[in-house]
Amino acid sequence: MAEPTPAPDRTQEFLELLTRHDRALGVYVHSLVNSSADADDILQQTKLILWRCFDQFEPGTHFLAWARKTAFHQILTYRRQTKREHMPLSEETLEALHHEVERLSDEGDHRREALRACLAKLPAEHRQLVTLRYFEDLEIEQIAERIRSTVAAVYRALSRVRFALMGCVEKELTKEAA
């Protein structure tokens, strides 16, 4: 008789997803809770619940949406428990804000994916400029020195690359919408 296969340890997967979306989740909670200390507490509680319930999360689905929904329920629980009179937003308003944040986030996700696709299409030297400027956060002068070019040439090249990326992203989004 064969032994049952043990469930895979998904700790690494959880940590990678949480790390990738931690900032966005924090911004979401802090945007809906007045007190920074309370928002931090709610965020911690949310992360504990996410970990405890991670076996219910389906791989390949939208982790941040799942995490935000969990956080939203924690915010509602917090509001009911504290029953503060000075809460500036009603539950209906919070619900509307929650849906609007999700809608805007989905738009941002599509735009990010389009940008990734467009970056991959860039010639290597243009990708290098983007990497140096926006990922390594170098100043234009530092980039010019690194690639042995003039400051003016780097400005022109980055301007052309940004313009090309903007057009490409819009084209990708239009293609996706169709």
- Topology of domain 114-178, per CATH? Arc Repressor Mutant, subunit A (1.10.10)
Rounded Cα distance between 142 and 69, Å, is: 43
- Whether the per-residue pLDDT at 107 is higher than 70: the answer is no
Query: In degrees, to the nearest 5, what angle opens at C-alpha 133 toward C-alphas 130 and 21?
Result: 80
Q: Look at the block and give the residue holding tokens 């509307």.
A: 96
Rounded Cα distance between 77 and 114, Å, is: 37
What is the architecture of the domain spanning 12-82?
Orthogonal Bundle (1.10)
- Whether the per-residue pLDDT at 158 is higher than 80: the answer is yes
Which pLDDT score is estimated for 84? 54
In this structure, how many other beta carbons lie within 10 angstroms of the beta carbon of residue 56?
A: 8
pLDDT digits (tens, 9 = 90+) for 7-39: 567 888 899 999 988 988 888 888 888 788 899
Across the range 100-105, mean pLDDT stands at: 66
Which pLDDT score is estimated for 143? 92
Domain residue spans in the chain? 12-82, 114-178
Confidence of residue 83 (pLDDT cuts 50, 70, 90): low
pLDDT digits (tens, 9 = 90+) for 30-79: 888 878 889 999 999 999 999 999 988 888 788 888 998 899 889 888 88
Integer Rg of the chain from CA: 22
pTM over 0.85: no
